[in-house]
Structure 1
Amino acid sequence: MIGEEDRRDHRRMQVSAAARMIWRSSGESVDVQLEDLSATGCSFVVQRETDPGVKVSITVPSPDGRLQGLERHGRVVRCEPVDEAGGGWRVAIAFDPEGES
């Protein structure tokens, strides 16, 4: 049987990095813990539930001042509890195509 990872057009890279999610409608932002990243999306853990379809931006600072950090716009495609103990929400984002905002 083909697993979800095998059906993807772009491989996801497992990461552990601090990032920031910004709700584009309000400008409110929160710190998140990035878990994976690909050319078309990412997932992370956040302490607040977010509805699918919500437009957000994600920023990941560069660890090297000579390189620009990552900033992408997208929309929430999934938001699931991390565990039953209230460990936050795992959110998946699909990035907008380049040039779209």
Structure 2
Amino acid sequence: MIGEEDRRNHRRMQVQGEARMTWRSSGESVAVRLEDLSATGCAFVIQRETDPGVDVSVVVPSPDGRLAGLERHGRVVRCDAVDPADGGGWRVAVAFDTEG
């Protein structure tokens, strides 16, 4: 059986850093702990649950002031509870909108 990682068209880079997620319907914005990033999506940990299907924006600041940060719109595809032994919260996966 092919694992999920093997089916992806774009490799995900494991990253650790701060980012911001904004719910596009309300404009509310929160800090998140980024865990991985690819051309088509990302995953992060947030301190409150959010529903799959919700439209969001994700902003990842540039680690170098000479480069622009990343800002993408997308949709929550998964939100799973994180074990309290691992810090708690919710692990959220976002699929970025295709640009066209």
TM-score tier after normalising by the smaller chain length = over 0.9
Instruction: Quote how far apart the aligned CAs of 1:64 are.
Output: 1.1
The Cα shift of 1:6 comes to 0.4
Q: Match for residue 87 of structure 1?
A: 88
CA root-mean-square deviation: 1.2
- Cα distance in 2 between the residues matched to 1:97 and 1:6: 21
Aligned residues: 99
String of CA shifts for 1:35-93, please: whole Å, max 9, x gaps. 00011000000001000000000001111111000000000000000115670000000
Alignment of 1:46-57 (within 5 A): 46-57=46-57
- Letter matched to residue 97 of structure 1: T
Q: How does 1:22-101 map to 2 (within 5 A)?
A: 22-84=22-84, 87-99=88-100
The gaps in structure 2 that reach 5 residues or longer are: none
Matching residue's letter, 1:18: E
- Structure 1 unaligned blocks of 5 or more: none
Runs of 4+ that moved beyond 2 A: none
